[in-house]
Structure formats: C-alpha cells, structure tokens
C-alpha cells in the first residue's frame, strides 16, 4: 500500500511538506512496502552560472547538487527516480549533475519523457538503469556556445576537449561506443539547420544509449528490484 497525505492537512512529517516539495522543486517522496522512493524531475533548461530568462522553465544546478548529496546520505530514502523532459542547457552544469547521479550508491532509475536533448543525454544515462518511452526524443549534437567567442586555437581546443568529456561520459555509462556516439554528433543528414542526430525511444535502446523502452511502471519495477537487492546485501 502506498502512503498518501491530504495536502490540506498536516502530515506526520510536519505540515504540507510533500505538496510544497512538488511546488518548489518538482519532487516528491513516496513510501511503499517496497521502500521509500524520492522522485525528482529534471525539466526545461539546465541553468548554469548565468540565470535563464524569467519566463523559461529551468532546472537549477545549485538546487539539485546539494539535494542529491542529501538524498545519498538520507536513511529515509531507499531509491531515486529521475523524470526527464529537458531541452538541454549549460554543458558543465549538466555534467556536474550527471556525475553526481552516477556517483550515488543508492538505487537510481531515469525515465526520458518527452525529450532529453543535448546535455540531457548524459543526464539520462547517469542513473543505474535508464528507460525511455517510445515517443521520447533525444538530440545529439556537437558542443555549441552562445555569446562572445574568441576566435583563437585555444577556444576551439576547449570546445573539443569539452566534447570529448561528454562522449566519454555517455559511452562510459551506456552501451554505445565512443566512435558511434561521435558519429551521431557529427551526422549531416538528420537535422535541417545543424549537424547531429535526433533519435527516439526504441532507436535509443537499439543504439545502446538507453537500457530499456518503458514508462513509469517499468521504471518503478526496476527501482524496487534494485532496492530489494540492496536491502538483501546489507
């Protein structure tokens, strides 16, 4: 049985904490017979050192990083479910979040819903198991920068090294080879005004980027299995 709380009444953990977490961070804690699962959404634009437009939906890395550290240390959390629908955003902020997810010892599952584009690809593969619904889309392209760019060899070298970090992370946390992922980045025929590729749920699984095609029930089943295995070894 799943425990539920009435948002209009204080729960035993104190006040309107569950509904407030959904409003503030797009997150929620669910306690079941299988264990306690924290659900965290990564949506919109991944905001970096520069604030995005006030009209844009964003995921702020300065909020997510300490939250992930807290979840890793919390005795009340057995596993974390990540729901992704992001257009991408700041490369280093996205990589920072992805590295922290990948470094968690708690059971983790990601589900791509809608899309997980650009730097959203490393975020999708960072969990222990990844899922994508059939309609999910993922855009893979070379590193791009906005704003003033100094046209110097050092600048292009920085772009290349940053791109290599992304390729290494994705190939290291999925089943696609660095060479194949690089070729998807540089493909010329798939995007009208840019190089790169747009792939969808089942194709992402065939390529080895995502582990399974599936939705919420599939992701939760996988997460509960991980939780059960972890509890059995402790």
Residue that is written with structure tokens 């990564």 in the block: 42
Report strand pairing: 58-60 vs 35-47.
Answer: parallel
Q: How far apart are CA 89 and CA 196, in angstroms?
A: 16
* DSSP-H helix ranges across the chain: 17-25, 61-73, 91-102, 120-125, 153-172, 178-185, 201-207, 216-233
Contact 132, 124 (CB under 8 A): yes
Phi then psi for residue 47, to 5 deg, are: -85, 135
Marked catalytic residue, from 116, 118, 171, 174: 118
Is 118 known to be catalytic?
yes
Contact 123, 42 (CB under 8 A): yes
What is the full DSSP assignment across 86-103?
EEEE-HHHHHHHHHHHHT
Marked catalytic residue, from 34, 117, 141, 173: 141
Measure CA 56 to chain center.
18
Residues in contact with 61: Cβ distance below 8 Å, sequence separation at least 6, in sequence order: 46, 47, 48, 90, 93, 94, 96, 97
Q: How far apart are CA 74 and CA 12, in angstroms?
A: 18
Is 141 known to be catalytic?
yes
Active site residues: 118, 141
């Amino acid at each position: 049985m799943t425990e539920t709380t009435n948002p209009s009444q204080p729960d035993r953990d104190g006040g309107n904490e569950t509904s407030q977490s959904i409003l503030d961070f797009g997150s929620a804690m669910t306690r079941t017979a299988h264990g306690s699962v924290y659900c965290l959404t990564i949506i919109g634009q991944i905001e970096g050192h520069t604030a995005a437009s006030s009209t844009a939906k964003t995921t702020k890395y300065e909020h997510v990083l300490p939250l992930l550290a807290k979840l890793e240390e919390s005795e009340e959390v057995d596993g974390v479910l990540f729901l992704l629908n992001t257009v991408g955003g700041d490369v280093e902020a996205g990589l920072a979040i992805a590295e922290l997810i990948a470094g968690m010892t708690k059971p983790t599952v990601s589900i791509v819903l809608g899309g997980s584009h650009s730097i959203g690809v490393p975020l999708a593969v960072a969990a222990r198991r990844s899922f994508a619904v059939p309609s999910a889309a993922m855009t893979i392209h070379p590193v791009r920068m906005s704003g003033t760019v100094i046209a110097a060899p050092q600048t292009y070298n920085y772009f290349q090294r940053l791109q290599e970090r992304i390729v290494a992370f994705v190939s290291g946390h999925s089943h696609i080879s660095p060479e194949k992922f690089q070729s998807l980045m540089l493909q010329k025929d798939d995007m009208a005004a840019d190089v790169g590729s747009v792939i969808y749920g089942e194709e992402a699984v065939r390529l080895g980027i995502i582990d399974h095609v599936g939705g919420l029930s599939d992701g939760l089943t996988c997460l509960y299995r991980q939780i059960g295995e972890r509890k059995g070894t402790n």
